[in-house]
Amino acid sequence: MKRRSMMTLLACFAATKGHSTTSDRMQTAARIIQQQIDAGILASAVLHVRQGKDTFQQAFGTAGNTDAIFLLASITKTMTAAGVLVLSDRGELRLADPVVKFIPEFNEGERKQITIEQLLTHTSGLPDQLENNTELRSRHAPLAEFVQGAIRAPLLFNPGTKYHYQSMGILLAAEIVERITKTSLPDFLAKEVFAPLGMKHSALGLGSFKLADTIRCQTEHAAPESGAGDPQATSWGWNSPYWRNLAAPWGGAHGSAADVACFLDSFMHPSGQVLRKETTRLMLQSHTPGLAARRGIGFALGPEGFGKNCSQQSFGHSGSTGTLAWADPATDTTCVILTSLPSRLSAQTILHPVSDVVAAAS
């Protein structure tokens, strides 16, 4: 094994298996989660915090152990973005390239102006979900149909003029990766991102994992686009074999808390194993000056949405299934909270309160 690769794996090992912090604040963070378990509101969770050389990790409820695999939801977007930037490092695309260069049929009207950067920063004008999203999912449409829908979807505004969170932009960015590499995005990420970082409990889609190997989502509180708990959505909702295998590049990744922390650490302490150091810095810079949100390439930029004491350097992402992951280079802290309770409930009762405690302990 190459020395750099070995160093990367050792760094991740240290981050996930290192000394456990026993500070009162970490215990307070854990108690916030345990109270929700004891009240019967939350079924499963894992908390993973690294501060400097110390690591605190704990599993809750039916998670069983800290390697439990959760549906990460929109944290997936950061991983898809990393895959796109792998190709940028290789000179196979540029962020400033128009999408139409790689998807020729994406050529009507203002679409010709949309760049890859705008797909990854939610400024393309594409919608978050397609108008026929429910119909597509309910009949178990393949991902290719979502791609065709995104290619034809009406733009909400002129590219680059506004910020509007949009999963369909991430989908088209993933389509560009597949067209360039002639490889499925799940296989590409497994080889180019997950394996080099030692992320053995991660996959886009289920990969080699079985559905039974993963944590079930509490779908009675699911997001509207995922069925909102409607019993009729059982066949295509978060826990369905269809959705777990679809490998949606905007929300279909699975992973453990330690793996997500390792991914974040690869940006705070880049080794060059996956991306060039200058590329990781580029992804963590604001690409939306003057717009409604601070966004990097694939990442949300803090401190808003993370811990109250997080710095302007903090970055990360949340997920509608009840997940939140952030890192703060100013304090050398990574915080990953994976739960089974959708963020519509867990954001205010678990994710943000725990993050506030962790950030205050930094």
- Residue 337 in any domain: the answer is yes
Residue 327 lies in a domain: yes
Q: Could you tell me which of 160, 182, 210, 190 has the C-alpha nearest to residue 79?
A: 190
Domain assignment of residue 241, yes or no = yes
Is 154 part of any domain?
no
Indicate whether 329 belongs to any domain: yes
State the Cα–Cα distance between residues 166 and 173, nearest whole angstrom: 12
- Rounded to whole angstroms, the Cα distance separating 220 from 342 reads 9
Q: Domain count of the chain?
A: 1
- Tens-of-pLDDT digits for all 362 residues of the chain? 444 444 444 445 444 443 444 488 999 999 999 999 999 999 999 999 999 999 999 999 999 999 999 999 999 999 999 999 999 999 999 999 999 999 999 999 999 999 999 999 999 999 999 999 999 999 999 999 999 999 999 999 999 999 999 999 999 999 999 999 999 999 999 999 999 999 999 999 999 999 999 999 999 988 888 988 888 899 999 999 999 999 999 999 999 999 999 999 999 999 999 999 999 999 999 999 999 899 999 999 999 999 999 999 999 999 999 999 999 999 999 999 999 999 999 999 999 999 999 999 77
Residue 91 lies in a domain: no
Could you tell me if residue 117 is inside a domain? no
Q: What pLDDT does residue 12 have?
A: 54
Helices (H), 182-308: 185-189, 241-246, 257-268, 277-283
**What is the dihedral angle through the alpha carbons of 154, 159, 163, 165, rounded to the nearest 10 degrees?**
40
Domain span at residue 200 reads: 3-76+184-360
Q: Which residue reads 């989502």 in tokens? A: 217
Domain assignment of residue 126, yes or no: no
**Does residue 241 have a cis bond before it (omega within 30 degrees)?**
no
Classify 290 in phi/psi space as left (phi over 0), alpha (psi -120 to 50) or beta. Answer: left
Question: The domain that contains 12 carries what CATH number?
Answer: 3.40.710.10
